[in-house]
Amino acid sequence: MSRITIYHNPRCGTSRNTLALLRERGIEPEVVEYLRSPPDRQTLLALIAATGRPAIDLVRSKEPLFAELGLDAPGVSDAQLVDAMLQHPILINRPIVATPLGARLCRPAEQVLEILPTQDA
């Protein structure tokens, strides 16, 4: 991940704020509207790995589809969550920002600051 990429939903205020925060710092990221162009399995797995968090942390558990699919049941595996996110991108939480320093679910938007390269680097 040599570039900075934001997996963005323009209808989400936090996603818009994160994008604005990047642009305020002079960064023009690659913007992926993930509902229109969902990540493939390899990309999604790489994003999850880069966050250092379990897959459940990148799932929109408040989305009604989460419960409808039974993803709130005990014992649901990361593989099942990834399959659900691939089939139903609305389940992917946002925004996710990936930089050479890692990836973060940027809720709140300021979490993006943890993974931005320093200006003198």
Residues with catalytic roles? 12
DSSP-derived pairing of the beta strands 102-105 and 30-33: unpaired
Tokens linked to 90? 């609305």
* Burial class, 103, CB count within 10 angstroms (exposed 0-12 / middle 13-18 / buried 19+): buried
Tokens linked to 72? 């709130």
Answer whether 79's CB lies under 8 Å from 64's CB: no
* Burial class, 23, CB count within 10 angstroms (exposed 0-12 / middle 13-18 / buried 19+): exposed
Tokens linked to 78? 């990361």
User: Which residues is 30 bridged to in the sheet?
Assistant: 5
